[in-house]
A and B are shown apart, each in its own frame.
Chain A
Amino acid sequence: MTEVSCRDPNLVMRLARLGSIHQSRLSFMRILTRRMAREGWRFEQTAFEINDQGVGHAVYTAHGPERAYSLIAYAHDLPAEKRSDRVIAEAWDATFTLFDGIPTGADIERLSQNIPVQEAGRVKGTELSVSRANRSVRLWEHVVSKLAAGEQPDAAQIDAVGYLMRTTAVYGSGKLGAADREMIADRPEFRVPFQVEMLSVYLTRWFVRDLVQYMADTRAKALGASAAKLDPDLARSMGIGNSTGLGMAPFLLNHPVLFSNWVQVRETALQRVRGVASATADEIAVFNDIFARNKQSVANWHSEHPVQLEKLAALQADVDLISAKLEDEGLAQSSPWESLYQWSTQSLTVEGQEWLVSLMLEPYGDLVDDLADEMSADNTATFRIAGAMTVARLREVLQDVYGWALKTDWSLAANKARAWYVSEEKLEPRLGERFEEPIEEYEQPLAPGRDATQLFAALAHWPEETPVAEFLLRHPEHRHSVRRAQIANRAPYAEIRDNTISEDVLPIDMLRCKLAFFGAMHFDPRSDRWVRICMYGNAPYPEELSTRDGDFWVYPDAQSVAKEG
């Protein structure tokens, strides 16, 4: 093995790099599909009571080794003027809950009063998630009308959108009265974070395929004809979209230990692969195959946003550089991945570097997949402040973790132009202009760098040996920052080492980072604070999980790679 250390948090935890992360084999979606395929999960549709207007409910149950989980889907007839992906929306095309077990008729009836109104409803500990989705109006109508006319939809139109419905919120972890994560975190299938949400979305994709077929059948029948059956390959090429705003950005800042664990796992996986002394012929074959297919995936990635267009162009150029490098020189005999990685840091953009990092992990499931169990977090141990830490030591920690912030001139308006706040409208998280809107008094503590700098200044005249407990008694306003600093001192990737309130901050960097850990692809920003993505595109549907690849499906043409053992 080659001696390689994990990458420096000062390199990794910059927003531009976090906003360039790609899905990998340690993404939550792929961890889930690998598990379901490996354990032979069984799936069934147990209800589909939808009328000709597309209104009603359906139930889909997934049977794992020990327990069953059911997606209860409610389909609605939504007028166009009510269709909004924002948190402030009050009606949707479809609403869902993931039920712990198999629901009774009474459960379905109770939930039919609550799930369709989402935040205005209440659920119980038997419900694990609450979510909703809106149609892609264009693609939905195209697919329904084509099928109803006895034809297949156009593959190019499907590729251009990627999904028939996009989720606009998937709530778990106790929201609206649902089960707390702590109630289910000891189940093997939910030990990895966000497995409830990922399962819910996976089953949602199945429901959407059934619903679009049903609506086409209904339309054809009204005309005295029969609809075509959606081609399985076309169906599989469609994922589920997601449309998301600022809610995900505070999440990363509010869960520093959890976030650190995600990044630590990815970095440790990279470290292990970089340490591989030589690659076997099989490993090289997997890498080359996935590389070729991932190139195709980049070509299928569409966006109209100028920032993303620039990044995409850079990524395509980087992919060409990698191709040329591999063709000209191949992989090095000794420490091939370390050699390739070092080359990438000199030759590729950040977007291309992170793309390559995810790619290099692909042949090494045996080496890195065990890390998935380390991605969750129990916050209790890190929440308490170590009051005996001296002022001198706290200063050192601040200089280490927040070095960038201590060098920032926070008196400049440009460096603190924005403020994060919560609106009274459905508690939507927002980002405003500090000097133009009356929002500063509502500011959320989401600028750790600025706050750490204020803490550092407040410590300046305190004696070195004073315990932090004494300082905090006089300065409770710094308690939040002291806690963060102590957490970051133990969890190296806990803190985003960048300015989250500057005039040029791109919140989509934070959204993309979280979505990439979920396993999302094809990031398509709609503004600097809003992004659409695709999940589970090309994934096997439940009935295909036992016969198709449960792991490498993210890359087009999944069948060409040998199934994992």
Chain B
Amino acid sequence: MSHSLNEIEAMSKRAARGAGLAWGLAEEAAKGTRWLSAFSFPGTEMLAGLLALNDRLPAVDFSPATLTGRWSAPAGRMSPLIAGAAMSDCAIRMEAGQVIEMENVSFPLLVVPFAGGAALRLGVPVSVSWEGVKLTTDGQRLCVQGARDAILTMHATQLSCAAPAAMTGQSEPVMRADVDEAAWAKLGEFAHRTYAPATESSRLLGAGSGLSDND
């Protein structure tokens, strides 16, 4: 079904929060999923897969242990949202020519939107590469190199982010996205955890005026 990008962002934020991410990371997850969807990638499927994989587990287990050297996570797999956010936060290092390298990243495509953010900050394109794949973005457009299966992989053993990178054969974002129904339903389940159950008193006290609208 065709969805607006705002719907995708709103659902993704709630779902990420429902799966236990801190609000700030849920916001990143939402912007990233929207960004990928705008480039016709199955962002919602990737996010649903990631949230199911790390559902309510401690973020620290999937975070880079340190931001020096090659980044790796204690649990042996790294969250692309936490690592991607850290990469964007450290974007300035790439300006100095440093390549940010990571090990064992889950759903590596979810790192790419953060490269978009980093590219906007640096003012030069940033590339994200893993086995057989290279995606380069200046924040507005995206160049895709690699087979679709490899791009959508659930796990990358090695991943590197570098700037400046060259943009060739770029694609422009679109304004609508076709969303996989199963992934959407899965995100909806996670999102539902953030909604307070309906109670009579909350219905009465929590919102309205308590007065009749038939006046």
Contacts of B1 in A (CB 8 A): 122, 177
Q: A88-B203, A422-B196 are in contact. Are A469 and B90 (CB under 8 A)?
A: yes
Near A by CB (< 8 A), chain B positions 161-215 give 175-176, 192, 194-199, 201-203, 205-211, 213-215
Task: Verify A177–B24 contact, CB threshold 8 A.
Answer: no
Q: Is B6 an interface residue (CB 8 A)?
A: yes
Contacts of B197 in A (CB 8 A): 424
Expressed in whole angstroms, the minimum distance between the Cβ of B84 and any Cβ of chain A is 11
Q: Is A431 an interface residue (CB 8 A)?
A: yes
Task: Verify A469–B208 contact, CB threshold 8 A.
Answer: no
Contacts of B195 in A (CB 8 A): 422-424, 427, 442
Contacts of A472 in B (CB 8 A): 24, 85-86, 89
Task: Verify B67–A473 contact, CB threshold 8 A.
Answer: yes
Q: Name which of A60-68, A337-345, A384-392 contacts chain B.
A: A384-392
Complex Cα gap A137–B192 (Å):
36
Task: Verify B207–A182 contact, CB threshold 8 A.
Answer: no
Near A by CB (< 8 A), chain B positions 66-91 give 67, 82, 85-86, 88-91
Complex Cα gap A180–B2 (Å):
12
Contacts of B86 in A (CB 8 A): 387, 469, 472-473
Q: Is A529 an interface residue (CB 8 A)?
A: yes
Q: Is B56 an interface residue (CB 8 A)?
A: no
Near A by CB (< 8 A), chain B positions 14-37 give 21-25, 27-28, 31
Q: Name which of A256-264, A318-326, A477-485 contacts chain B.
A: A477-485
Complex Cα gap A83–B199 (Å):
21
Q: A476-B63, A477-B22, A526-B211 are in contact. Are A432 and B205 (CB under 8 A)?
A: yes
Which residue in A173, A387, A445, A478 is a CB contact (below 8 Å) of B92? Answer: A387
Near A by CB (< 8 A), chain B positions 108-155 give 117-118, 120-121, 139
Complex Cα gap A246–B208 (Å):
8
Contacts of B7 in A (CB 8 A): 174-177
Expressed in whole angstroms, the minimum distance between the Cβ of A15 and any Cβ of chain B is 19
Q: A473-B67, A476-B63 are in contact. Are A125 and B27 (CB under 8 A)?
A: no
Q: A388-B92, A530-B207 are in contact. Are A480 and B6 (CB under 8 A)?
A: no
Complex Cα gap A380–B118 (Å):
11
Task: Verify B192–A424 contact, CB threshold 8 A.
Answer: yes
Q: How many interface residues does B have (CB within 8 Å)? A: 54
Expressed in whole angstroms, the minimum distance between the Cβ of A423 and any Cβ of chain B is 5
Task: Verify A422–B207 contact, CB threshold 8 A.
Answer: no
Expressed in whole angstroms, the minimum distance between the Cβ of B19 and any Cβ of chain A is 13
Q: Is A235 an interface residue (CB 8 A)?
A: no
Which residue in B23, B24, B88, B175 is a CB contact (below 8 Å) of A387? Answer: B88
Task: Verify A437–B64 contact, CB threshold 8 A.
Answer: no
Complex Cα gap A83–B75 (Å):
54
Q: Is A86 an interface residue (CB 8 A)?
A: yes
Task: Verify B117–A384 contact, CB threshold 8 A.
Answer: yes
Task: Verify B89–A468 contact, CB threshold 8 A.
Answer: yes
Q: Is B4 an interface residue (CB 8 A)?
A: yes
Contacts of A473 in B (CB 8 A): 63-64, 67, 82, 86
Task: Verify A80–B24 contact, CB threshold 8 A.
Answer: no
**A interface, how many residues as a size bin?**
35 or more
Q: Is A87 an interface residue (CB 8 A)?
A: yes
Which residue in A177, A183, A387, A424 is a CB contact (below 8 Å) of B90? Answer: A387
Q: Is A134 an interface residue (CB 8 A)?
A: yes
Q: Is A124 an interface residue (CB 8 A)?
A: yes
Task: Verify B4–A483 contact, CB threshold 8 A.
Answer: no
Expressed in whole angstroms, the minimum distance between the Cβ of B180 and any Cβ of chain A is 16
Contacts of A467 in B (CB 8 A): 89-90
Which residue in A87, A125, A183, A469 is a CB contact (below 8 Å) of B207? Answer: A87
User: Beta-carbon contacts of A453-476 to B below 8 Å, as 1s and 0s?
Assistant: 000000000000001111011001
Expressed in whole angstroms, the minimum distance between the Cβ of B121 and any Cβ of chain A is 6
Q: A468-B89, A472-B86 are in contact. Are A83 and B207 (CB under 8 A)?
A: no
Task: Verify A178–B207 contact, CB threshold 8 A.
Answer: no
Near B by CB (< 8 A), chain A positions 179-194 give 179-183
Complex Cα gap A183–B176 (Å):
9
A442 to chain B: closest residue by CB: B196
Complex Cα gap A280–B1 (Å):
60
Complex Cα gap A178–B88 (Å):
31
Sorted nearest first, the 9 A-B pairs with minimum C-beta distance are: A479-B24, A387-B89, A174-B6, A430-B206, A174-B4, A526-B209, A469-B89, A480-B24, A424-B195
Q: What are 20 contact pairs spanning A and B, CB under 8 A?
A: A180-B6, A180-B175, A182-B5, A380-B117, A384-B91, A384-B118, A388-B90, A423-B206, A437-B201, A439-B196, A439-B202, A467-B90, A473-B82, A476-B24, A476-B63, A476-B85, A477-B24, A479-B22, A526-B208, A527-B210
